[in-house]
């Protein structure tokens, strides 16, 4: 088997080994995001710089592997997730060449969206995910937005805005603006600051309401009706509410 074919099997195959590999990538993505958030509150010590370089090299290896197996490489390079990858790689490796590009590092959170390709595998392997899929996805969307906007606000404001002294200040402003609490003790300076505030309020409130919607509406399960395509049904449904076709929703313990 050619090396490229072997790499493609790991990323796109259905074998148990390939699925374990993709779970490792998912764990790496989540761990990297946690590292970004935690180290945002810490001084830039030597061991953090070393960890940055190691993570950057791992992301670079993953990016090059995906590029090697991609059939439409130009389209892949222009994809928002790929652009986020390139920004994250540059920011993690930047200390090697003496650049200060922490602003780009927060783009790494966008990469978590790549995990959505694993939905079928997660549905199959985890009962909790099957039961709470929409809540989990809505929570991930909201968290990614918060991390991105917090990083953007911090990097564009902390040099000139006395109210934004650290990452926690930026996170506090993001959450209060998103929830429309708006205490007024922290405001963003300048036209760009006001524009960021508007973006946080409009998109943040939308994502927050989406999460509230899936939390409080009646529980449904995802199962596609083979006739009309309706995806959401009551957990104990026998017939599709839309077209009346008999459906067979798998229950726990059913092989």
Residues 73-114: tens digit of each pLDDT: 898 888 877 887 888 888 788 765 444 445 566 666 666 655
- pLDDT for residue 98: 43
Say yes or no: domain 1-117 is CATH 3.30.160.
Answer: no
The mean pLDDT value for 175-197 works out to 85
Q: Mean pLDDT of all residues in the chain?
A: 80
3-state secondary structure the chain: CCHHHHHHHHHHCCCHHHHHHHHHHHHHHHHHHHHHHHHCCCCCCHHHHHHHHHHHHHHHHHHHHHHHHCCCHHHHHHCHHHHHHHHHHHHHHHHHHCCCCHHHHHHHHHHHHHHHHHHHHHHHHCHHHHHCHHHHHHHHHHHHHHHHHHHHHHHHHCCCCCCCCCHHHHHHHHHHHHCCCCCCCCCCCHHHHHHHHHHHHHHHHHHHHHHHHHHHCCCCEECCCCCCCCCEECCCCCECCCCCCECCCCCCCCC
The mean pLDDT value for 3-26 works out to 85
Q: How confident is the model at residue 57 (pLDDT cuts 50, 70, 90)?
A: very high
Q: pLDDT tens for residues 104-143?
A: 666 666 666 555 556 677 777 777 777 777 788 888 888 8
Q: What is the pTM of this model?
A: 0.67
- Give the CATH number of domain 132-217; options: 2.130.10.10, 3.50.50.60, 1.10.287.70, 3.90.79.10: 1.10.287.70
- pLDDT for residue 103: 54
Q: How confident is the model at residue 255 (pLDDT cuts 50, 70, 90)?
A: very low
């Amino acid at each position: 088997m050619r090396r490229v074919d072997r790499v493609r099997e790991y990323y796109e195959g259905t074998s148990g080994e390939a699925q374990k590999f993709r779970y490792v990538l998912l764990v790496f993505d989540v761990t990297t995001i946690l590292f970004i958030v935690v180290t945002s509150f810490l001084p830039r010590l030597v061991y953090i710089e070393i960890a940055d370089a190691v993570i950057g090299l791992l992301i670079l290896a993953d990016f090059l592997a995906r590029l090697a197996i991609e059939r439409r490489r130009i389209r892949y390079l222009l994809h928002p997730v790929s652009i986020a990858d390139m920004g994250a790689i540059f920011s993690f490796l930047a200390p090697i060449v003496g650049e200060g590009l922490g602003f780009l590092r927060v783009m790494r959170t966008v990469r978590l969206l790549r995990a959505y390709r694993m939905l079928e595998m997660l549905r199959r392997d985890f009962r909790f995910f099957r039961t709470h899929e929409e809540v989990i996805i809505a929570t991930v969307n909201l968290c990614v937005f918060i991390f991105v906007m917090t990083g953007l606000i911090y990097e564009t404001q902390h040099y000139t805005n006395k109210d934004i002294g650290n990452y926690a200040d930026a996170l506090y402003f993001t959450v209060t603006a998103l929830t429309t609490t708006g205490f007024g003790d922290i405001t963003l300076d300048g036209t760009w600051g006001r524009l960021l505030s508007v973006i946080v309020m409009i998109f943040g409130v939308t994502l927050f309401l989406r999460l509230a919607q899936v939390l409080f509406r009646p529980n449904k399960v995802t199962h596609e009706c083979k006739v009309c395509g309706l995806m959401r049904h009551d957990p104990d449904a026998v017939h599709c509410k839309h077209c009346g076709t008999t459906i067979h929703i798998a229950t726990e313990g059913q092989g």
